[in-house]
Amino acid sequence: MSRTRLVVATSNPGKLKEIGELLGEMGCDLDLSLYDGPVPEEDGATYAENALKKALWAHERTGLWALAEDSGLEVLSLGGWPGVRSARVAPSDAERISLLLSRLGSSPDRRAVFVCCACAVGEGFRLLAEGFCFGSIAEGPRGEGGFGYDPVFVPEGFRRTFAEMGASAKNRLSHRGVALRGLWRLVRSHGLC
């Protein structure tokens, strides 16, 4: 029996690595590849719009099943900022973190939530699942792992940032892990894999 071929619509190598690890931990026997063409602008008003747009784009250009996700960090005391534009508020991870910490200042309310919407598209199906991880923003960056806002996000009930956790621990807790596990339950319940 041949393995299902799946193209991941992202230009972020950190996301591709994490998605591959997560799918592997779930026992998904996939031929995973990176969609290496241009991806459309993430200009949707929601994570779901952006994820679906990228997955459809990659599926239409490759004819393969496509997986895409969009995620962001929402800080409660900042009215949900940076939200759906999390990756686009500054040019680099370090600059995005610096801007976040500057805006947050010495606010005692550092509650935040990571949000993810994952989407799988193939011939005749479009499946979406969401994932959330609640936590807070640390006073400053800590740890060497992960990417994006991982060095300042402390999941609820923990003292370490995502960047201080190993990949396996982070994947169990993360918004992306929750969304992908939900998405794969949908894929299996529809008899697609």
pLDDT, tens digit (0-9, with 9 covering 90-100), for 171-180: 899 999 999 9
- Please state at what angle helix 13-25 crosses helix 175-189, rounded to 10 degrees: 50
Q: Which residues, including other chains, have CB under 8 Å from residue 6's CB and lie 6 or more apart?
A: 30, 31, 32, 33, 64, 65, 66, 67, 120
Domains and CATH numbers, the chain: 4-189 (3.90.950.10)
As a whole number, the mean pLDDT across the chain is 90
User: What SS3 class is residue 34?
Assistant: strand
> Which percentage of the chain shows pLDDT scores above 90?
65
pLDDT beyond 50 at 46: yes
User: What SS3 class is residue 31?
Assistant: strand
**For residues 36 and 4, what is the distance between their CA atoms, to the nearest angstrom?**
18
pLDDT top residue among 136 and 22 = 136
Over residues 140-149, mean pLDDT: 94
Interval 117-128: pLDDT, tens: 999 999 889 999
**For residues 13 and 154, what is the distance between their CA atoms, to the nearest angstrom?**
23
pLDDT at residue 50 in the model: 96
pLDDT band at 33 (very low <50, low <70, confident <90, very high): confident
Contact 14, 88 (CB under 8 A): no
pLDDT at residue 15 in the model: 78
Over residues 149-170, mean pLDDT: 96
pLDDT at residue 1 in the model: 42
What does pTM read for this prediction? Answer: 0.90
Q: Which residues are catalytic?
A: 70
pLDDT band at 2 (very low <50, low <70, confident <90, very high): low
pLDDT band at 193 (very low <50, low <70, confident <90, very high): low
Interval 83-99: pLDDT, tens: 999 999 999 999 999 99
Over residues 102-111, mean pLDDT: 97
User: 18-27, 72-81, 127-136, 150-159: which has the minimum mean pLDDT?
Assistant: 18-27
User: What SS3 class is residue 6?
Assistant: strand
121 pairs with which residues across the strands? 66, 126
